[in-house]
Amino acid sequence: MDFPAFVAARSAALFRGALVLTGSREAAEDLLQETLERTCRKWRTIAAKDAPDAYVRRIMVNLANDRWRRFRRTTPHPDGGDRAAPGDEYGQIDSRDQLVRALQQLPMRMRTVVVLRYFHDLSDAEIAADLKISASTVRSQLARGIEKLRSQFPALSGPSPQRPTEGNR
């Protein structure tokens, strides 16, 4: 696969991952652009690898880590606002925004593990290989990350209400 074909096939998924890692559309666009720029410079080496997607994700994660370290003390984090009523279309947008803000509060490695699992559908082994950590570290970071996210959304993390089924009395 040549580089333009790779960009056409994978840029949307990479952008979604960048958006969750950074928390803003502008920062995600910048992160994706820088990732693709570095990928282009090393494309011959990357294309020869068994898993070019993993290599490119690793570039993105490293760049996101660098940005986070550089800007974490200078960028204020807005607090969560009021929640919208369930079923409200704007409320769904607010919920996504709250989720992205909650992800931004996680430590970078924990956030990266959560993003790779739930936004890129990677297994423990794939995440461990991408981040060069053990699978058990992936599982513990994932469990801690999910627990922290659930603590910020207590109404959503409880057991789901049971619906009565037709025909039962």
Alpha-helix residue ranges (DSSP H) falling in 42-132:
43-47, 52-71, 89-105, 108-118, 124-131
The yes-or-no verdict on residue 98 having pLDDT over 80 is no
The tokens of 71 are what? 């800007």
Query: Which tens digit of pLDDT belongs to each residue from 17-31?
Result: 888 888 788 989 999
Going by C-alpha positions, the residue among 44, 16, 49 that lies closest to residue 31 is 16
pTM above 0.85, yes or no: no
Note the pLDDT of residue 136: 95
